[in-house]
Structure 1
Amino acid sequence: MTTPRLFLQPLRVADAEQMVDVLADPALYRFTGGEPPSIQQLTSRYERQVEGRSSDGREQWLNWIVCDHAAGALGFVQATVTGGGGPASAAELAWLVSPAHQGRGIATEAAGAMLSWLRDAAGVTVFAAHIHPDHAGSEAVARHLGLHPTDTAVDGERRWESDRR
């Protein structure tokens, strides 16, 4: 997938090498908790994610590295799709951009490209994201994607979702 400024590259295990630097800033974990992964942890995570499916086959995992031509990897976008594709399917969305590149609309542009692809190419009709209530940047991305907050909270994060079709 490409946008005017970015290209979204499907995740590969080899991406762990460049992404460990992108994910190294502790500020990224302010709302989600945790800490920067080691190269070994990230490689192991990517080995699972590139399989593309949960072990029971109910979830399809789609992951892309967000890149620009000058700076390389800037972050990632991901979707967990359930419902087998088509009008009955739904996607849980997530996005992350390195703090060095935040505030320039990169997450909105990348997540918007992912959502459009999921809708147009994969037939997904329902979209959701879980966002910490103090994370104004991610809330702004969700609004741009057409998601709205719900009263549902999971692990301290508010569920945002699209209108159901």
Structure 2
Amino acid sequence: MRPHVLDDYDDSFAMWSNPEVIRFIGGQPFTREEVWARLLRYVGHWTLLGFGYWVVRDKTSGRFLGEVGFANFRRQIEPPLDGMPEVGWALTPAAHGRGYATEAVRAALRWADTQWPATDTACIIAPDNSASLRVAQKCGYLEWARGSYKGKPTIHLRRAAGPG
């Protein structure tokens, strides 16, 4: 895992424009412009906040598998995330069901536990996204609320600070 660079754009676009990937993340494939804005947001998080998203690549082949990391999107969401860093992940269909998401999220959480030893983290997941809900549960996240974001239902999960 490493922060994004310009050369990640095409791989990121291929993932975010795939209907299987975005089925529970807004439901509409992202345009090239939207993926460009996403890439800039990732880099901006690292520059302004000292944290962000990483690219996940296969250790052996170097193949792009997805993205995982932390953000402060300042979401207008109910209930609010109250300033907790929000973990998120998305992987290419070729990486689905192979344990990569759990491995990547756990790696991100090890990093977070050293950076924010006293800070809880959160995530939001669509209720029908059973695969991501399983990943969150394996990584120590527990449901603490139900709400909505942009008119769609969400499950809000929280992980207590410190090694889990």
Short-chain TM bin: 0.7 to 0.9
Tell me the distance in 1 between the aligned counterparts of 2:157 and 2:142: 5
* 2:5 corresponds to 1:45: no
Fraction of identical pairs, as percent: 27
TM score, norm. by length of structure 2: 0.78
Given that residues 97 and 107 in structure 1 are in contact (C-alpha distance below 8 angstroms), is that contact kept between their aligned partners in structure 2? yes
CA contact (8 A) 1:130 1:158 kept: yes
Deviations 1:123-154 (A, max 9, x none): 35301110111111001111111011123313
Greater shift in the superposed pair: 29-38 or 130-139: 29-38
Change (3 A) 1:20 1:103: same
- Decide whether the 8 Å contact of 1:60 with 1:80 is kept in 2: no
Give the whole-Å Cα distance in 1 for the aligned partners of 2:46 and 2:107.
21
Q: What per-residue deviation string (whole Å, max 9, x for no partner) do you get for residues 8-64 of structure 1?
A: 12112331122222333211122122433333432233123312269xx6x655010
TM-score of the two chains, using structure 1 as the length reference: 0.77
> Match for residue 80 of structure 2?
none
Shift in alpha-carbon separation, 1:37–1:151, aligned structure 2, 3 A? closer
Q: 1:95 aligns with which of 89, 95, 107?
A: 89
* Whole-angstrom CA distance in 1 between matches of 2:68 and 2:137: 16
Q: Is this contact kept in 1: 2:145–2:155, CA < 8 A? A: yes
Aligned partners of 1:90 and 1:124 also within 8 Å: no
Change over 3 Å in CA distance of 1:124–1:106 after alignment to 2: farther
Q: Is the 8 A contact 1:150 1:160 kept in 2?
A: yes
Alignment match, 2:21? 28
Contact 2:16 2:22 in 1 (8 A): no
Equivalent in 49, 53, 57 of residue 63 of structure 1: 53
RMSD across aligned positions (CA): 2.5
Q: Give the superposition deviation at 1:109.
A: 0.3
The aligned counterpart of 2:148 is 154
Where does the alignment leave 5 or more consecutive residues of structure 2 unmatched? 74-82
Shift of 1:108: 0.4
Which has the larger share of helix? 2
Judging by fraction of residues, say which structure has more strand: 1
Residue of structure 2 in register with 1:77 after alignment: 68
- Among residues 129, 134, 156, which one is paired with 2:123 in the alignment? 129
Q: Distance in 1 between matches of 2:148 and 2:50?
A: 21
Contact 2:72–2:85 (CA under 8 A) maintained in structure 1: yes
